[in-house]
Each structure stands twice: as structure tokens, then as C-alpha cells.
A = this chain, B = another copy of it.
Amino acid sequence: MADLAADFTLPLRSFELELGLRVDRTVALVGPSGAGKSSVLRALAGLARPSRGRIALGDDVWFDAERRLFRQPDERSVGLVFQEYALFPHLSVRRNVAYGGRARVDEYLERFHIGHLAESSPTELSGGERQRVALARALAREPGLLLLDEPLSSLDAHTRTTVRAELQELLREFALPTILVTHDFDDAAALADEVGVIVQGTLRQLAPPQELVARPADAFVASFTGANLLRGVARRTADALTEVRLETGEAVFSADPGEGAVGVVVYPWEVTLGREPHTDSALNSIVGDVRSVVTVGTRVRVQVGPITAEVTASSAERLEVERGGRVVASFKATGTRLVPLG
């Protein structure tokens, strides 16, 4: 199983995409719309020509600026699954799958549970089925590199989770170097060994999901992983804590060092709710109106002023939190991280 080694610059409309990447297992690229995620895949697949750098799968070189080498898409052993799947509407499912590799079509149809759809047209399929066909088509070519562009985004909420699980299994089975693009951190966390966060064409952080949650490199990464982000100005204090004066006026303390404009990162499940504010500086508390209360199973997500807390249903009931009411959200200074604000 050859690794992908890519390091290139691709000029885009409004900015340059600059990327250095080594892929042996599954890497997820996350980032806001327009960040350049799809462009990365385009460059790797040979659909766009970088201005600089080198792309190689193992010792099979696909692109090398110095050597003026650029292999056409059809000369690269790559399987690309498009954002909207790009199935050929004029071909049956079978002929779609057979398009790339005629060899073991039926096998693949079976493997992806689309045998019964073989003769139907892609336009008649559900989102999940379409995605399976697209995957089968891409893999039937037996590529050395698999690229998935938002494989789940065009599925609706409740097929999504099941399809995600299927995909997870498949990726494990094929064990190809894989890059998958997504908007959604949960998908990334579920499917990938490493997650790369791209913003404005640059890789902000590349690390395992847990790592991103534990040590987000910057505000964007933090909020992307679902953390609360409180903006403020930091200054060192006598004791080992950093004091951050928030835009909203309150002061909170963090065990992290920091200076100037910073974001205080705290995850909802690290926030507890109460009636009384604390005085202990090791325990931050923010008083605010309850702006929303959402029950998710046994947990309740409560938005208090600028911050969201995730508490157990029981404690929520005990406190009788409800829209409009006032409560105190508390979180440990040690439970927070400070990220610089650009």
C-alpha cells in the first residue's frame, strides 16, 4: 500500500492553496466553504495543475513542477467521489460501475449492496444509494488513492448516520490512503484517523480528532470542534492564572498562558449550571439569561448568555432552567484553553 506524498501550491481565484501532506491512512479535511478543500482533491486527481511542487503515490510520480511532469487524471491511479456524486445519468448503475473497471463489476455491485439496482438509472436512486454507486464506481477501478468530496453532505439527517457507519467499515476494509473532505467535525472524527483543518487555503492544524478537541491550534479550530469561544483580552495575574476580560464585560480566568486578544475555549460538557455565582477565581462563572434549551437524549444543551452548557437532564430539571430564566454557568479555569485571535 503506497503512501501519498503531496506538497504543492495551487493558485485559486482569490488566494493560493498551499499544502504539504503525507497520507497513509484516512485523513479528513475540514474547513469552511470556499477554504479550498475540493481544490486539494482536484489537484491530487490531476483536474487542476499546481504551479509548484510534487505529487507522488509511492514512487509513482504524478506531478513534478521541476520536471514539467503532469500526469492526466486518467493516468493516475486515483478514485474520486464527487460532492454530488457525478453519476452518469445516461448509464445504468451497472454501466456506471463498469465505466472505470470492467473486471469484477458484479462483485462490486454485491459488495456495495446495489446488485438489485444494477439496471436502474442513477436518477431513480436515493441519496444513500447514489453514494454507494459512486463509491463502487470509484473503487471498481482499484485505485491507489481514494478521494471523497463531502460524501455525506447531500444526505438528509437520518440516513446520514447509517451511511456514515457503512462508509467507516468500507474505509477500514479497503485500507487505502484516503482523503475525505467534509464540513462536519463529527463526520471527520468518526471516519478519519487524522483531521486537517483548512482555512483560506492553508492547513491550520493536522492531528487526530481527540487532539484537535484537547489542543485546538486556534479559535477557528476550537469553534469548529464544537467548543464555546469567548473573545476577550488576556493579561497575566499574580497567581499562575491568566485573566481574560471578555467583550461582554465579565472576567474569566484560565490556566493557559496568553497575552492580548485571545479566545477562551471551553467545551459545553465542561460547563456546569447553578443558581449562585462563585467567588473562587479557579472557577469561572458567567451569569446570563437562558436563551435556548435543547434536549438531546439524556443531556440538555442550555445556552446561557454567550456560552452553551451541556448538562444532564436531571440537573436541568433540578434547576428548572427554561427560556428567559437567569442562571449561572460555571467552568474550571483548568478546563479552559486560550487561543490567539488573528
Contacts and interface: CB of A to CB of B under 8 A. Distances in A.
B165 A303 contact: yes
Interface in A312-339: 323-324
Q: How many copies does the complex hold?
A: 2
A271 to B, nearest CB: 11
A127 to B, nearest CB: 8
Contacts of A175: none
A201 interface: no
A269 B298 contact: yes
A210 interface: yes
Interface of A: 32-33, 156-158, 161, 164-165, 168-169, 172, 183-186, 189-190, 209-210, 213, 223-224, 226, 267-269, 291-292, 294-299, 303, 308, 310, 323-324
B295 A269 contact: no
A267 B269 CA distance: 20
A157 B183 contact: yes
Contacts of A172: 323-324
Contacts of A297: 226, 267-269, 310
Nearest to A185: B157
A237 B211 CA distance: 50
B32 A156 contact: yes
Given A33-B156, A165-B292, A297-B310, 7 more contacts: A168-B323, A172-B324, A186-B296, A189-B295, A210-B295, A269-B298, A299-B299
Nearest to A225: B158
B294 A190 contact: yes
Contacts of A224: 158
A323 B173 CA distance: 12
A151 B183 CA distance: 18
Contacts of A209: 295
